[in-house]
Structure 1
């Protein structure tokens, strides 16, 4: 637990030095602030995207845990922005752990959740950058810490998730929000109606 907290403090401190904004508290507060409106927007989406989003949101309905809700909002956001949440969020059970280790070596950026069994109970959550496990046992903090590491290490957002990370950067964290991609601008307008 001490190592886990040390990693959180280091990433939070690095992000604060670079942006002058607190990472964890700002991200969680803003995500929670926008969640209800985002969920309304997502639930009104039709077609194939709407079907995928409803499938993700069904997980939220099975649990009242805030971290499950946040995870579902982030995955739904990714789908809404025409990106694949499975390219970032990967889940494995013990029977597929060997597949996970092979997958990690070829991953540019990812969040790997290892579950004890087929139900929702987590055993470990790992943040991977360039095929290396950079943080382990980070739970829901994985996305936040990955975003902070991207800033701290001056990395580019992955091309296949650039809209998701841009939304987090410019809307959730309110960093460099004056120049928005068209997709992000449209979602922002729906958020503030």
Structure 2
């Protein structure tokens, strides 16, 4: 059904781009606020905001910065002051991400020394390297404390359970804890009420949104830990497979408005993609479009036997392939969503379901989905050699 994509070089790059920073959807002036389910609501900010510290620490920093400006002398930071600074920063970092990357630790250290130059230390790195190492150590201690307190997000990684992994696709809520004061029994009652509501011809959309939000942690833990068949997930969580709830779940997991961001990226990159495809240097985009095209099957009936992942285009008349009836998404032999209006919408829903169902990118689609994730949605930093090549060429074309 699907021909494999040729494997590129295994090299990856640390190069990051600021173009189309659609992931930064909230102000960096404050940490994410808690929703009704107490899960994170935003990605790591493009520029980390250094918070204010206690009154006495701020006085020391202000006087230290004034002294540094006059004489270029750094502040001798006492242990209690350093611990407060690290504690405050680590708590804020954790509000965005449980496992920051090396670059993210570096960004916080750089911003700290930039705001308070009196904290810099001698060396070629302009004084932030020591703070970076201290932040890493402090974050490790902080996670250990959370683990001892029973925080599920970090406890599960201590147990080294098979199949449970840290976030790989820039998820900010990979495995959240249940809302405070709410246990499994309460969440199960909410789930059943949601299923009953969906049986109604005109169900209450606001009620559905509310119950999908509050049961997010329960649903996420089941999917990540138990890895059930998609058919079983659909039976237990039918609301998850409604088009608008696919987008809602993606936002709970990543903090990103999938549909709007995807459509914006299409509008931004469309002309560049077409121009690349028409040039000799468009091999990568040619392969990408070819693989996408191979995943669309035209049919009058939904035959899903043996299908791992596919989009099916339903047509009214086989002789008139231009007459589109609707699109459907199939995963693991199961039609999970149907009645979608067009191909971009179907692909967007499929991508969202990969996150919602905690699926690995299929080998045949690995670089296609990586392109959508890291180029279109700007989720994640490092790119494979092939995706980075495509991104560089696309950005070059768009500058012409």
Equivalents in 2 of 1:30, 1:156: separation in Å? Answer: 23
Alpha-carbon separation, structure 1, partners of 2:327 and 2:289: 25
Structure 1 unaligned residues grouped into runs of 5+: 51-75
* Residues 1:25 and 2:260 are matched in the alignment: yes
Q: State the partner residue of 1:182.
A: 385
- Are 1:122 and 2:343 matched, yes or no? no
- What is the TM-score when the length of structure 2 is the normalising length? 0.36
Is the 1:83–1:160 contact (alpha carbons within 8 Å) kept by the matching residues of 2?
no
Measure, in 2, the Cα distance between the counterparts of 1:165 and 1:30.
14
Taking structure 1 as the reference length, what is the TM-score of the superposition? 0.72
Kept in 2, the 8 Å contact 1:87–1:110? The answer is: no
The aligned counterpart of 1:167 is 371
The residue number in structure 1 matching 2:274 is: 39
Moved over 6 A (4+): none
CA–CA separation in structure 1 for the residues paired with 2:306 and 2:294? 12
5+ unaligned residues in a row in structure 2: which ranges?
Answer: 1-201, 206-238
1:105 aligns with 2:305: yes
Structure 1 position 35, deviation (Å)? 0.6
Alignment partners' CA distance in 2, 1:19 and 1:187: 24
Distance 1:149 1:81 in 2: 20
**Structure 1 or 2: larger helix share?**
1
Output the CA distance in 1 between the equivalents of 2:293 and 2:376.
21
Aligned equivalent of 1:80: 287
Matched, 1:142 2:346: yes
SS of 1:137 mapped into structure 2: strand
Q: State how many pairs are aligned.
A: 155
Which has the larger displacement, 33-42 or 5-14? Answer: 5-14
Mapped to 1, the partners of 2:379 and 2:310 lie a distance apart of: 22
> How large is the RMSD of aligned CA atoms in angstroms?
2.4
CA 1:86–1:148 in 2, change beyond 3 Å: closer, same or farther? same
Q: CA deviation at 1:83?
A: 5.6
Cα 1:137/1:82, change in 2 over 3 Å: closer
Larger radius of gyration: 2
Which residue of the partner structure matches residue 56 of structure 1?
A: none
Bigger fraction of residues in strand: 1
3-state SS of 1:90 partner = strand
What is aligned with 1:151? 355
**Counterpart in the other structure of 2:296:** 89
Decide whether the 8 Å contact of 1:11 with 1:145 is kept in 2: yes
Deviation string 1:27-59 (CA, Å, 9 cap, x unpaired) is 01011100101110011148xx87xxxxxxxxx
The alpha carbon displacement at 1:82 in A equals 8.2
Q: What is the SS of the residue equivalent to 1:174?
A: coil
Q: Bigger shift: 110-119 or 21-30? A: 110-119
Q: For the residues of structure 2 that align with 1:116 and 1:82, how far apart are their CA atoms?
A: 25
Q: Which residue of 1 aligns with 2:155?
A: none
> For 1:162-188, what per-residue CA distance to the aligned partner results, in whole angstroms no more than 9, with x for missing partners?
111110011001111x21111111111
Distance across 2 between alignment mates of 1:148 and 1:87: 20
